[in-house]
Amino acid sequence: MGRTGSGRLLAILCCVGIVCVSEARGQGTTTGQSGHDREYWRQIAKNHYAVPPGQDAFSLARELSGYLGSPDPELRDDLAYSMLATWIVRQKKLSVEQLVTLLDEWQANLRIGIGETGTDSIFKRAFSALCLAALAERDLKETFLGENRFRTLLNGALTYLGDEHDLRGFDAKKGWIHATAHTADLLAALAENKFFTKQDQERVLKAITQRLASASEIFSYGEQDRFANVAAAIASRDDFDSDGWRSWVVEMDKEDRVVWQESPPRVQALARYENDSYFMQATVAQMALRAPSSSSAVAQKAVLELLRRR
């Protein structure tokens, strides 16, 4: 959306006494009020995301952050997110203080327009969650969060996962939305952190099943796979709570079987059953892709037992 929303105010038309405001975004030269145009960012991307000579990476990052809420998929995803993630995780262009500033901004963005559905406010929330995932991934390589910031980030992610009502995955014109998947990516990175506790394992697993249960639709854009990555990360931890995992799987199976108590089944109950089934299947696959361990073997066995009963 850039700094001025979706673009420059193009015209104010008076018709039958009503002022109609038409707002459109340019296709080749969209800019913020004092920012760079689209072609500037395209050239950075073409140059392997190298910061242009004489430019400050943090100033550019703040400008890019403004585009996370854009309904324009190129500005939001191909340019802003891709550039920010590269500078944060791979190229490490930003200092700890700068990372913390972005952390605070993106966490606050998760609450902007929360509760709305079908509106463009979702883009800022969804892509802020994805950028927070990049920060959490950076922390795994170079610690900067500390326990207090980690705890705040985890709590905020879980709250956002439960509070987000807009579950759209993809729009033909506006591109990826994917708030659920992006939050899963954030949780997956946090689940590998040294500050992630056994109690956190239980909280996150329950939050995943609650999200799948409350969706009232069968996710169709890979959300179950992204949640499976979270579960696999938990199962691969040295402090993996195998008893808690088994209890979680048993409870999930028990609640899912309610669907067959009615004929025909209720739509939401059926959606929950299918979401959980796809999620468990994907979890087995994700665990198989990771280095084998005694803990992951226990986790995989419990999930396979559930799937055999379905």
Which SS3 state, helix, strand or coil, does residue 28 take? coil
How much is the pTM? Answer: 0.89
Lowest model confidence (mean pLDDT) among 16-25, 150-159, 163-172 = 16-25
**What average pLDDT does the segment 105-122 reach?**
99
Q: What is the pLDDT of residue 261?
A: 94
216: left (phi over 0), alpha (psi -120 to 50) or beta: left
Q: Give, as one character, the DSSP assignment of residue 79.
A: I
* pLDDT greater than 90 at residue 17: no
C-alpha–C-alpha distance, residues 196 and 8, integer Å: 44
Lowest model confidence (mean pLDDT) among 15-19, 97-101, 180-184 = 15-19
Which SS3 state, helix, strand or coil, does residue 8 take? coil
* pLDDT greater than 50 at residue 30: no
144 CB neighbour count, 10 Å cutoff: 16
Residue type, 95: S
The pLDDT-based confidence of 25 (bands split at 50, 70, 90) is very low
**What average pLDDT does the segment 135-141 reach?**
99
Q: What is the pLDDT of residue 34?
A: 57
Exposed/middle/buried for residue 124 (C-beta within 10 Å: 0-12, 13-18, 19+)? buried
* pLDDT greater than 60 at residue 7: no
The pLDDT-based confidence of 160 (bands split at 50, 70, 90) is very high
Q: What is the pLDDT of residue 22?
A: 33
List CB contacts of 43: < 8 A, sequence separation 6 or more: none
* pLDDT greater than 50 at residue 310: yes
CB 106 within 8 A of CB 132: yes
Q: Which residue in the block uniquely carries the two structure tokens 């028990």?
A: 254
CB 167 within 8 A of CB 179: yes
**What average pLDDT does the segment 175-182 reach?**
99
Question: Token digits for 60?
Answer: 């550019």
The pLDDT-based confidence of 164 (bands split at 50, 70, 90) is very high
